[in-house]
Amino acid sequence: MEAKKFGLNDIVEMKKQHPCGTNKWKIIRMGADVRIKCEGCQHSVMIPRREFEKKMKRVLISANEA
């Protein structure tokens, strides 16, 4: 399984979309927990980093490589 790379301000897709119908999340805080904000409704959630890595599907837009 390939390692997932992600960083602050990246736009990511999760395995499950948000109930609002959007599946684009921006990483707004990195640490032991990751805070992501839904780009559709601006709702934000805090997820333990390990869980985030499991639930994240892919990086759509990498802030560092833009």
For Zn ion, the binding residues (CB under 5 A) are 18, 20, 22, 38, 40-41, 43
- Residue 52 is classified by DSSP as H
Q: How far is the CB of 6 from Zn ion (least distance, A)?
A: 19
Contacts of residue 31, Cβ cutoff 8 Å, sequence gap at least 6: 49
- Judged by beta carbon, residue 36 or residue 38, the one nearer Zn ion is 38
Q: How is residue 40 written in tokens? A: 């559709």
Q: How far is the CB of 51 from Zn ion (least distance, A)?
A: 18
Q: How far is the CB of 1 from Zn ion (least distance, A)?
A: 28
Please give the Cα distance from 12 to 48 (Å, whole number).
16
